[in-house]
Amino acid sequence: MEKQAKIYLAGHRGMVGSAVKRMLESNGYNNLIVRTSFELDLRNQQAVSDFFEQEQPDVVIDAAARVGGILANNDYPYQFLMENMQIQNNLIDAAHQHAVQKFIFLGSSCIYPKLAPQPLKEAYLLTDSLEPTNEWYAIAKITGVKACQAIRQQFGKDYVSLMPTNLYGTNDNFDLNTSHVLPAMIRKFHEAKENGHVPVTLWGSGTPMREFLFVDDLANAVLFALENVLPEYLYNVGTGEDLTIKALAKTIQNAVGHQGDIIWDSSKPDGTPRKLMDISKMHNLGWKHKIGLSHGIAETYDWFLANQKDYKQVKL
């Protein structure tokens, strides 16, 4: 891939997109195109088509999506389904119509069936029912994967989908109404510490197993996909290691320095029992993650401390 290649990065201000932008820039890619959602509404098909006609990018990286945790998915199913399909379909089709030869589509491990065998292999896609608490987002992402596969199969273009495990890191979302489990825990433990080490209540039983990938490692996987022609249409991206939510809570509690109790609210849903990714396909191609969980949590907490003015403190 030429360093001067015109690369359109959709979603550059989100956690994933901003990490990808930093990664590309630090590796010498100096012709990046970005637009805020105010400048370009990706849900608007005509606006997206006009943008592609004007800019004529060589490569598209799709890191744009409406995202959130269990609560957000449960409360806004229509938006999670429809807006994500609108965003990705407009980007994929415009890229195809305007002769973009390389497209990197980013999704999520939630595309796999709830009770699929562990670890999750790419071949398990569409073999059983999804986890109900995030099926709306998952269905949208599955359509994106299959659209890229169809273009690859029918037109021979290098359209590839990367499915990361649970992500966290710099520029994460710490809003307790819409955040994922790891950043939500960081904020809860921090504010409990600030309020005199009061107890922290967490959802579920704490027994589900989860895998976590620092967002800079995903950005490195995107760089890998950019600089290589990957032979298949779908690849898992993760660490290949998981832990219980209880163990995660203790790790975060120690990193934050909270000394109070942890209360588990078993009336709240657990979600999928386990989601460990089989990442052998990426490993066989030569990519591997670099950042361990403890180091990544420490970096994420440091970022939160530097930016917590953006989040209203909650009295626990």
The phi and psi torsions of 259 (rounded to 5 degrees) equal -115, 10
Map tokens 């957000």 to a residue: 72
Q: Which residues are annotated as a binding site?
A: 11-17, 106-109, 141, 164-167, 180, 188, 203, 210, 270
What lies within 8 Å, CB to CB, of 132 at 6+ separation is 114
3-state secondary structure of 1: coil
Sheet with 243-244, side-by-side order of all strands: 243-244, 209-210, 274-275
* HSE-CB of 130 using CA atoms within 13 angstroms: 18
Q: Which residues are annotated as a binding site for NADP(+)?
A: 11-17, 106-109, 141, 164-167, 180
Separation between Cα atoms, residue 275 and residue 118, nearest integer Å: 7
Per the CB < 8 A criterion, the answer to whether 79 and 65 are in contact is no
Active site residue 137: yes
Q: Which residue(s) pair with 212 in the sheet? A: 166
Out of 29, 137, 159, 168, the active site residue is 137
Report the b/e string of 219-258 with b at 16+ CB within 10 A. bbbbbbbbeeebeebbbbbbbbebeebbebbebbbebbeb
What lies within 8 Å, CB to CB, of 135 at 6+ separation is none
Paired sense of beta strands 262-265 and 102-106, if any:
unpaired
Give the pair of three-digit tokens for residue 42. Answer: 């990706």
Give the C-alpha distances (Å, rounded to integers) separating 151 from 49, 122, 226, 228. 17, 18, 18, 18
Paired sense of beta strands 243-244 and 209-210, if any:
antiparallel
Residues marked as catalytic: 137
